Amino acid sequence: MAERTTVRQDETYAGIARSEEFRGLRRRHRAFAFPWTIAFLAWYLLYVVCANWAPGFMSTKVAGKINVALVFGLLQFLSTFVIAFLYSRHARRRLDPVATELNARYEKAVNQ
């Protein structure tokens, strides 16, 4: 009995994974995740490169004892939160509705 259920689950999942809706869901996710990951890694690499090879620039005072390195470091945290917020909004609007529908289709097929 359990083996039959597992086979049904596997077949159902495989069918959903081949569907246009699922492929579209993956495309939407990748369209957001890949560019933002590359952008963040480039931004982080810029910070590391400047810290290692441009210490004069990084030690430039911005205001009082605050220098460019501190501003860059704080902006790393800010950019992380901004990207997380943007992803949350993207997922809620563009991914979650499709994923919910696909999950409902899966549950219905498996529980019949």
- The predicted structure's pLDDT at residue 58: 98
The C-alpha atoms of residue 107 and residue 80 are separated, in whole angstroms, by 35
Using alpha carbons, select from 99, 90, 94, 96 the residue that is nearest to residue 22: 99
Residue that wins the pLDDT comparison between 67 and 9: 67
Q: How many other CB atoms are found less than 10 A from the CB of residue 25?
A: 20
For residues 42-57, give the mean pLDDT: 97
Domain interval for residue 43: 2-110
Please report the pLDDT score of residue 12 as a whole number.
92
Q: Tokens representing 90?
A: 């993207």
Contacts of 86 (CB under 8 A, 6+ apart): 32, 36
Q: Which residues pair with 61 in a beta bridge?
A: 67
pLDDT at 43 over 70: yes
Q: Write out pLDDT tens, residues 13-22.
A: 999 999 999 9
- Total structural domains in the chain? 1
Is there a contact between 73 and 47 (Cβ–Cβ < 8 Å)? yes
